[in-house]
Structure 1
Amino acid sequence: MTTRRHLFALAASSLLLAACATAPQGAGQPPIVFVHGNGDSASIWQSTVWRFESNGWPRERLHAIDLPYPLARDDDGKAQPGRTSTTEHMAYLKTEVDKVLKATGAKQVVLVANSRGGNAVRNYIQNGGGDKTVSHAVLGGTPNHGVWATQGFREANEFSGTGPFLTGLNAPKNAAGDEVAGPVKWLTIRSDNNDKFAQPDGLWIGAQGTPTHVTFEGPALKGATNAVLPRVDHRETSFSSAAFDTTYRFVTGQGPKTSTVVMQAPVMLNGKVTGLGLVPTDPASGSYPNNLPLPGAQLAVYATDPATGERKGPAVHGKTVGIDGLWGPFTAQAGVPYEFVISAPGYATTHIYRSPFPRSSDLIHLRAERIAAADKDAKSTVTFTRPRGYFDAERDKMAFDGKALPGVPPTGAGVSSSKIKLMEDGVRTIAAEFNGEKIVGRTWPTPENRAVVLELTY
C-alpha cells in the first residue's frame, strides 16, 4: 500500500532506522518488556535477550512476560476455558509494565512484541494508559490488519481485520489517517512475502484457494516506521538476528556491536516446568498450552554425548518442582549438550534434548507432553521443534534422522515442528540438523509412555 510510509528492505534499513529513531534519554538503557504471541511463552525471547545482553544491556532491564493462558478466544466477547480475551491480555500487560517501572525506577519502558503480543501492546497504548508509560513499541509479525479480513466471517475473533477489535485499533488518529497513537515511536517488522499470517490465500488458516483479503503488507501500520526483512517467516520477524538488528537500531538510534550471541561463563540456567490444559467440555479432543507452573513434577538433567545422545553418567541436577514452577538454578558446563527429563502424573515422561547453552538464562521453560492418540501405536515418537521460527524447505538446510522433515511442505514457511513415528523396537541415536545447529537424542519407547523432543536454540 503506497500510502504507508517508510517501507524499506533490509539493505536500506540501517540508514533509515538511525535517521528516524530517537536514542533513549537518561542514564543507561531503558527497560524492555517482551510480549510473546498466541500460544507461546516468555521462553521464546531467550535468544533475543541474549543478543541484548551481548550488547551490554543489563539482564535486570530485560523482562519477558508469561501470559498464563496465551491462546486467544475464538469469540473475543465470550468466555472460553483456558483462553484470554483482548481485555484480559491488555490488563496483564499493564500489570507487568507497572511491575517493571516500579522495580527499575524508570518512567517509561520499551515494548517489543511478536504476533498476537502486538495486539496487546496496541490496545494498552491506545486504551490502557500506555501512551504515558511506553517510549517505543516494536511489533514483529503482528497481524495488524487481520489474518483474514472478510465481511461476515468470524468477525468476533481478534484476528479478523473487519472485526470490532482491529477496526477500533486501526481507526485514524489524525487528519493524516495514521493508525498509531502518539507520542509513542512505532516500528513494525514484516516479511516481504513469507509470513504465514500475512497471505492473500487462506492456505495456512485451512482455506486454501479462498482469498483472505489480507496482503503481505498486512502487519504494516500507517504512521509507523515499517521495516521489511526479506524471506523471514512469521516468528523470525521478531526472533532472527536481522530482527534484533532492526529493533536495536530503532530503539537506540545506532547499530549493535554484534547481532550474534556472545559466549559467557559460568552458565546459570533456570525456568519453569509447565503443562497442558485439557478442554473441560471434551477432554478427549486434546490439550491446549498454558504457562501455569506444574508443581510436583520431577525434573532431572543429564549431560549427553554430542555424537550419540547417550547420558554421560548420573543426573547432574534434579528437583521436585514447587508452586512457582521453577526447576533450577543449575550451573551448566560450556559446550555440553543436555537432556531434560520431566515426570509428572497425567503426562508422558518427556525427554527434551538441547544444544549447549552459550549464556545464562532464566527463560529455559520446559513443557511436559502427552502422547497423542494417533501416536500410541508407535514404538517411539520424536518431535523436532523450532520455537523461534519455522521450517522452510526452499530456504533452510535441514535433516531429521538423515531424511527430509516429515510434514514440512516443499514451499512456504508455516510449520515449526516435525514428528517421526518409529515402528522398530529398541533405543537408538536420532539426530536433527537445522542451518548448522545439530541436536542428538535417543528414541525412548512410546509403550513406556515416553515422548522425545529435540529443541532448537535459534
Structure 2
Amino acid sequence: MRIRIRTTWLARILGRAVPRVLLAALAGGGLLLSAAPAAHALTSKHPILFVHGIEGSGAQFESQAMRFESNGYAASWIDEVDYNSTRAVGDKSEVDQQIDEAIAALKQLTGKSQVDVVAHSLGTSVMYDYLTNGEMAAQRRANVAHYINVDGQNQNPGVPTLAVWAGRGTPGRNMEGAQNVTIPDQTHVQTATSAESFIEYFKFLRGGLPQHDIVPQKRITLAGKALNFPQNAGLAGASVQIWPLDANGVRATTTPLASIAISDGSTGGGAWGPVAANAGQRYEFALVQTGLPTLHIYYEPFVRSDYTLRLLASPAIEEYVGDRPGSVSAVMIRYKELWGDQGAENDQLLINGLNVCTEVLCPISKQVNAFFAFDRNRDGQTDLSEPDPVLSQLPFIQGADVFIPASSPPNATVSFQLISRGGGPERTLNVPNWEATADGVTIQWNDF
C-alpha cells in the first residue's frame, strides 16, 4: 500500500514530513514529542500571563499569544506585564504589584481560580522572588497552576514548573524538581518566541499537542501599547496614528485609519486600540509627540488579529541617533537573535542591498535583537568595520555607521530586507526616506 505524505505544521517545525495518520498514531502512542497524549485528552486551560526579561516588553510574547489564540484561547485570556526591568533588578515591589493586579484581573475575567505564568530571562528571577519571598508567597503560589521558566534562573519556585533552556546557551542547565527541556540550536530570546518552544509550552500546560501554528484571518483587529522604553511607562501625551500604505510604504490615504491619544503614563500603561484592519495590508504606526521627532513604525503585513503590539519610543536613544541632516536613522528589530558569524546559519539584514548583519556587528554572542543604522560619523559614508561604541554596550542592541540618503519631505524609497536563517522567503519593507532631523524609522520584523 502506498502512503501519501502530507507535511503538517508540526512536521515542518521538526524539519521532516510525516503522514497525518502516523502523526496521530505517534501522538496517541506516546512516541512523538515527549509522549504527548492525543488532542482530545487535553486538560482544561487557564488564563496565561507573560513576564518579560531585561530591557524587554510584552512584545516578546506576541507570536506565542497568536499561537495560543490559534489553538482555542480567547485573546482576553492572555496578558503581559510590561514592567520597568531597569528598576526590577534591585527593587521588585512595583512589578510584584503589577503581577498581583494582572493575576487578579485574569481570574475575575475568566472565572478561573488559577493562572498559568510564562517568564523569560530576568522575568524568571522576578517570578522566583514573587513566588518564594515575603508573607504573600504562599498565597501567590496558590494562584499559579503552571509556571514556565524560559532560559533564566534555575531555582524551583515551588509550583508545577517547566524549565526551558536555549540549546545555544550554557550547556547542562537544569532545574531540580521541574520538567526540563532544551530547544536545540536556539538562542536566548528565540526560545521565548519560537514555534518549537510553543509546542513544549502547550504540551506542559494542556497535556497534549497543539493543532495549529499561527492561523491566518481575513478581518483582523489590532491593539497594544505605546511605551517609553526601557522603563515601559505609557507614552502619555503622544498620539498613535495608523496609516494604510502602498507597496512602497507611502501612505495610501490622506487621513489616518485611526488616531488615538495616549493618556495613561503609568508603568505598563499606554494602551491603544482595538482598531479594525485588514490582513495582508501594510500599516504605518506613527508616534506623534509635540516638540519631538515623529517615529514611523513599520510592521510586516499582519496575518491575524494581534493584541500585543508594542510601539516603543526611547528618547535617549532617539536623541543619540537622530538629528542627522540628509540621512535616515533607523532601527530594525526581530525577537529572534540576528546571527552574522555562523556561516550557513547566518541571517542577512539588508539596507538598499547592503548586508549589515556581519560577523563583526552580529556575532551570536551579542544576541542582537535591535540593530540601529545611522550616519554615526556624520560624514555621508558607511563604515561597518566596528560597532557603535555606545549602543553596543547595551544588551540585545547593536549600532553601526550606515549612511542612508534622506530628504525632508521624503523623495525616495529605502528598501529594508531580511533573509532569515532556516529558510523562508526574502522579506522586504520599503519605506520613505525620512530625514533624521524630524523623523525616525523602526522596522519590526516577524520572528516567525
Q: Do both proteins adopt the same fold according to a TM-score greater than 0.5, normalized to the shorter chain?
A: yes
| Alpha carbons 2:45, 2:205 under 8 Å: kept | no
Unaligned runs of 5+ in 1: 1-9, 77-84, 145-169, 171-179, 196-214, 277-288
Q: State how far apart, in whole Å, the 1-side matches of 2:273 and 2:110 are.
A: 25
Partner of 2:171: 216
Residue correspondences, number = 363
- Over 3 Å counting, the alpha-carbon distance change for 1:186 and 1:376 in structure 2 is same
Q: Deviations over 1:328-362 (max 9, x none)?
A: 23211221111111111353210111111112122
Instruction: Please list, as runs of the form range in 1=range in 2, the aligned pairs for 1:44-193 lying within 5 A after superposition.
Output: 44-67=60-83, 69-72=84-87, 76=90, 85-127=91-133, 128-129=137-138, 130-144=140-154, 170=155, 180-182=156-158, 184-193=159-168
| Corresponding position: 1:353 with 2:298 | yes
Range moving further from structure 2, 328-337 or 422-431: 422-431
Q: State how far apart, in whole Å, the 1-side matches of 2:100 and 2:35 are.
A: 27
Q: State how far apart, in whole Å, the 2-side matches of 1:413 and 1:216 are.
A: 18
Instruction: Please list, as runs of the form range in 1=range in 2, the aligned pairs for 1:221-370 lying within 5 A after superposition.
Output: 221-258=175-212, 260-276=213-229, 289-306=230-247, 308-314=248-254, 315-323=256-264, 325-345=270-290, 347-370=292-315
Q: Find 2:338's aligned residue among 391, 413, 419.
A: 391
Q: State how far apart, in whole Å, the 1-side matches of 2:80 and 2:32 are.
A: 26
Q: SS where residue 440 of structure 2 aligns?
A: strand
Q: Deviations over 1:158-210 (max 9, x none)?
A: xxxxxxxxxxxx4xxxxxxxxx244x2211111122x4xxxxxxxxxxxxxxx
Partner of 1:18: 36
Partner of 1:400: 350
Q: State how far apart, in whole Å, the 2-side matches of 1:73 and 1:397 are.
A: 33
- Over 3 Å counting, the alpha-carbon distance change for 1:273 and 1:15 in structure 2 is closer
Structure 1 vs Structure 2: percent identity of aligned residues?
Answer: 25
Q: Find 1:42's aligned residue among 40, 47, 58.
A: 58
Give the AA of the match of 1:119.
S
Give the AA of the match of 1:268.
T
Q: State how far apart, in whole Å, the 2-side matches of 1:291 and 1:13 are.
A: 43
| Alpha carbons 2:405, 2:433 under 8 Å: kept | no
Q: SS where residue 357 of structure 1 aligns?
A: coil
* TM-score, L = length of structure 2: 0.74
Q: State how far apart, in whole Å, the 1-side matches of 2:371 and 2:87 are.
A: 24
| Alpha carbons 1:188, 1:224 under 8 Å: kept | yes
Root-mean-square deviation (CA, aligned residues, Å) is 2.6
Give the AA of the match of 1:424.
P
* TM-score, L = length of structure 1: 0.72
Partner of 1:3: none
Report deviation, 1:138.
0.5
| Alpha carbons 1:351, 1:452 under 8 Å: kept | yes
| Alpha carbons 2:239, 2:261 under 8 Å: kept | yes
| Alpha carbons 1:41, 1:291 under 8 Å: kept | yes
Q: SS where residue 339 of structure 2 aligns?
A: coil
Report deviation, 1:416.
1.0
Q: State how far apart, in whole Å, the 1-side matches of 2:419 and 2:291 are.
A: 32
